[in-house]
Amino acid sequence: MPQPEEKSLLEERAAEKRAARKEDLARLESGVSPELLQRENSIFPKSFFANARISNLKQAVGR
């Protein structure tokens, strides 16, 4: 069970996420492209996965 301080941090983070989603929705409604929002919200640079090599691809996809 979360401690009181830990719970308040979780609640604070949840409130921040709700506010961000609300802001994103308003931006979408004002005409900002979903691709731009995705790019801004992503932690990965645009070309991060372009030339990715997965050494255990067969194991990762189960084949």
| pLDDT of amino acid 1 | 60
Token pair of 42, please?
Answer: 């992503």
- Segment 23-51, tens digit of pLDDT: 999 999 999 999 999 999 999 888 888 88
Grade residue 6 by pLDDT with cuts at 50, 70 and 90. confident
Q: Helix axis angle, 34-41 relative to 4-29, nearest 10°?
A: 150
Tokens at residue 17, please? 């996420």
- The rounded distance, in Å, linking the Cα atoms of 6 and 1 is 10
